[in-house]
Amino acid sequence: MTIQPGDRIPSATLMAATADGPKEVSTDEIFAGKTVVLFGVPGAFTPTCSAKHLPGFVQQRAALQAKGVDTVACMSVNDVFVMGAWRKDQGINEEVTLLADGAAAFTKALGLEFDLTGRGLGVRCQRFVLVAKDGVVSHVAVEAPGAFEVSKAEAVLEKL
């Protein structure tokens, strides 16, 4: 079942692509005591993700912060080295934390997996966004396949 408002973020370990290289990070560490916007993308370097989704959150980071957001994080079912390369390609510093869920364990715990095995891509993350305050989800929006409306930065700003 897909995570819903009022649900607690499940405990999991992810890998963060940082300027200093890969870093293991727990969801408890990411979400505890903070307001976090987490958005998921089907894959690093994919067209919509690279041209619109991630850049939108980088551009809107200050506006999100002004509305009380402590952390903006992007998650994908990719390995941390791919996420690190995407970070460099996109010219991201600390505006958005890039998180790798290489085995899709956290994605599955959220109920947001999307099976693209038939297209040679394996299990991926659906395009989504959620807002959590101190680890409790206050908003979640999942895109219909091929859509890019409810999970973009501007849509989240309207919900805060």
Residues annotated catalytic, as ranges: 49
Could you give the strand order of the β-sheet that contains 21-26, starting from the edge strand earlier in sequence?
Answer: 21-26, 13-18, 97-100, 71-76, 35-41, 128-133, 136-142
Nearest Cα residue to 50 out of 17, 98, 18: 98
Cα separation, 95 vs 138, in Å, equals 22
Q: Residue 17 forms beta bridges with which residues?
A: 22, 98
